[in-house]
Amino acid sequence: MRDATETVDPALREDDPNALMVVIVGAIGSLLLVVIILLLQALFFWSEEREFALKVVDERPQELREVQADALEKLNGYAWVDRDKGIVTIPIDRAMDIMVRESRGGAPQEKR
């Protein structure tokens, strides 16, 4: 039996924590925490970029759609520029056909 006055070697005490195991668990836990933070940050940036593309880049503003529709209407329609002088606008395709014929030396044909 041991006497209460007897001293035990501090290296052999069983109630002390294992220092090496504490360091290993702490290092692995810290590494996992860093990896999780980096993955969450990457997920955040990816979702932020996706939302920006969906809400801002991919959707054309209403004003732009109206301006483009108006421009297409002007390019593809007939309209008077000056009635007194007899100046009209014609569709762009028709104007290009006339220009090609004129550049080849042919006179433009009138459609009626």
Determine the pLDDT at residue 84.
92
Contact partners, residue 74, CB within 8 Å, separation at least 6: 89
Average pLDDT of the chain, as a whole number: 84
Q: Are residues 75 and 29 in the same domain?
A: no
Domain that holds residue 41: 18-59
Q: Are residues 52 and 90 in the same domain?
A: no
Give yes or no for residue 3 having a pLDDT over 70.
Answer: no
Q: Are residues 66 and 50 in the same domain?
A: no
Is the pTM here over 0.75, yes or no? no
Determine the pLDDT at residue 41.
98
Q: Are residues 28 and 46 in the same domain?
A: yes
34 or 3, greater pLDDT: 34
Residue 3 lies in a domain: no
- pLDDT tens-digit map of 82-102: 889 888 888 988 889 989 998
The whole-angstrom separation of Cα 92 and Cα 99 is 10
Matching residue, tokens 């990816």: 46
